[in-house]
Amino acid sequence: MGRFVRSDFRPAPVREGDVKNVTIEAVGEKGDGIARVDGFVVFVPGKKEGETAKIRITKVLRKVAFSEVVGESVPAKEAVVEPAAETVAEIEKPVAVKEKKPKKVKKEPKVEIIKEEDEEF
């Protein structure tokens, strides 16, 4: 019997000892960050999605690699979307605020009830 050989098998793009800068794309079931190097999955311990780190590859398997962090992580830059010019003009345009006058409250006249004492005649 022959051994099954995958035709789509490619060697890993990383080797043990390689140092790479990566961005964490997801978090695995055990809490490790998941990065990709040329599409190859690399687990990065203690990192969260969106962080970047300088890592050293410690172990390479057929489909994944494991690493350790050797440099400080930096939060990934968040995308800044510039608003359209019309929107900026609308935002910066002063808005006239109409002051509301306090409502006049009608005061009802006070009515006093005087209780007369019964006098005997």
> What pLDDT shows up at residue 79?
39
Which of 100 and 31 is assigned the larger pLDDT?
Answer: 31
Q: Taking 70 as the threshold, does the pLDDT of residue 16 lie above it?
A: yes
Q: Could you report the per-residue pLDDT of 49-85, keeping only the tens digit for each?
A: 999 999 999 999 999 999 999 987 555 554 344 555 5
Give me the domains of the chain, ranges plus CATH numbers. Answer: 19-75 (2.40.50.140)
Q: Could you report the per-residue pLDDT of 94-104, keeping only the tens digit for each?
A: 666 667 777 77
Q: Taking 90 as the threshold, does the pLDDT of residue 26 lie above it?
A: yes
Tokens (6 digits) for 103: 């409502």
Count Cβ atoms within 10 A of the Cβ of residue 35 and give its class: 0-12 exposed, 13-18 middle, 19 or more buried: buried
> What pLDDT shows up at residue 55?
95
Tokens (6 digits) for 115: 């209780």
Tokens (6 digits) for 15: 């080797």
pTM, two decimal places: 0.54
